[in-house]
């Protein structure tokens, strides 16, 4: 599979929350680790037919397809000026005993 996009996967660092409890909050800032992955990213289609016209709804769900098998819930993806949360469970497609690709659902946080 061809992966036309390069995205940054952000693994948050653990930080103290507003009450001072250690390791209770996720920090996606400078303390977080980042890695580049090759991916195919697209918006989930949610067009609706209304009064004879096709309207594109505001969508916040996206699909990420990659050969990186380590993308997990709680991480974020930075791509094309957007910040997206990994919200779904990673689904792996195996072929000949190897991971062919992985798919996960993303939700827009910013952008």
Instruction: Give pLDDT, residue 45.
Output: 63
Taking only the tens place, the pLDDT of each residue in 18-73 is 888 887 888 899 999 999 999 999 987 654 445 555 555 555 788 898 887 778 88
CATH number at 52 reads 2.40.10.370
Q: How far is CA 88 from CA 21, 22, 76, 91, 96, in A?
A: 27, 27, 12, 9, 25
DSSP run (H or E) holding 44: none
Domain that holds residue 96: 5-110
Given phi > 0 = left and psi -120 to 50 = alpha, else beta, which region is 95?
A: beta
Global pTM exceeds 0.85? no
Domains in the chain, number? 1
Cα–Cα distance for residue pair 5/64, rounded to 1 Å: 10
Rounded CA-CA distance 93/101 in Å is: 5
> Tokens standing for 63?
């699909």
């Amino acid at each position: 599979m061809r992966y036309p996009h390069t995205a940054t996967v952000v693994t948050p660092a653990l930080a103290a929350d507003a009450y001072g409890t250690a390791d209770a909050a996720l920090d996606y800032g400078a303390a977080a680790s980042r890695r580049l992955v090759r991916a195919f990213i697209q918006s989930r289609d949610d067009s609706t037919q209304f009064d004879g016209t096709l309207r594109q709804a505001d969508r916040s769900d996206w699909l990420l397809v990659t050969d990186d098998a380590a993308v997990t819930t709680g991480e974020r993806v930075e791509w094309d000026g957007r910040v997206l949360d990994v919200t779904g469970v990673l689904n792996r497609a195996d072929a000949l005993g190897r991971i062919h690709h992985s798919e996960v659902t993303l939700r827009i946080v910013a952008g």
